[in-house]
Amino acid sequence: MLKKFVHAVDAFNEFVGKYVALLILPLVFVVVYEVIARKVFRAPTIWAFEMTVYFYGMHFMLGAAYTLLHDRHVRIDILASKLPYKVQLWISIITFLLIFLPFVGGLSYAAVQYAAHAWAVNEHSWSAWKPPLYPYKTVMPVALIMLLVQGLARFIRDIYRLKGEEI
């Protein structure tokens, strides 16, 4: 049962991560469009900056679980990498329980509240363009919950590895 859960979470985040990577294409398009409009035609847009922030934010946040799946988050493990494999697993398990779970769990809870408020008040940007913010703010709890669940899958995988099994 747990092995199926881990495989399902990994497969989901692998799928989402590959498609989220494609958000770089509209991001580049918007930036290039804005540069040409501003520098060549001297006609800057009112929407390009916010679209750039939205695309980059979605790209960054929704890619977090994929990054964890492939163990590519930035970390300093100079000391831990020199320790025996089982000690590294114990460190991973303990840091999940003491740091990752409370931090990402708390952020997830707060992000759900944040997005719910944006939906409740039909929140829009303060700019002249005034796009709705609630879809963008919904990305935050979705991405954090994906990261939390991927962290849980990693925790389960580490427990199995500690027992000498691979998932």
- Residue 78's pLDDT is what? 87
Around 15, how many Cα atoms within 13 Å sit in the side-chain half-sphere? 7
- Residue 134's pLDDT is what? 97
**pLDDT, tens digit, for every residue of 41-66?**
999 999 999 999 999 999 999 999 99
Close Cβ partners of 134 (under 8 Å, ≥ 6 residues apart): 115, 118, 119, 122, 123
| Spatial distance between the Cα atoms of 80 and 34, rounded to a whole number of angstroms | 45
Q: Note the pTM of the prediction, 2 decimals.
A: 0.94
- Please give the distance of CA 124 from its chain centroid, rounded to a whole number: 23
Close Cβ partners of 118 (under 8 Å, ≥ 6 residues apart): 133, 134, 137, 138
> Which helix (H) or strand (E) element contains residue 57?
helix 48-62
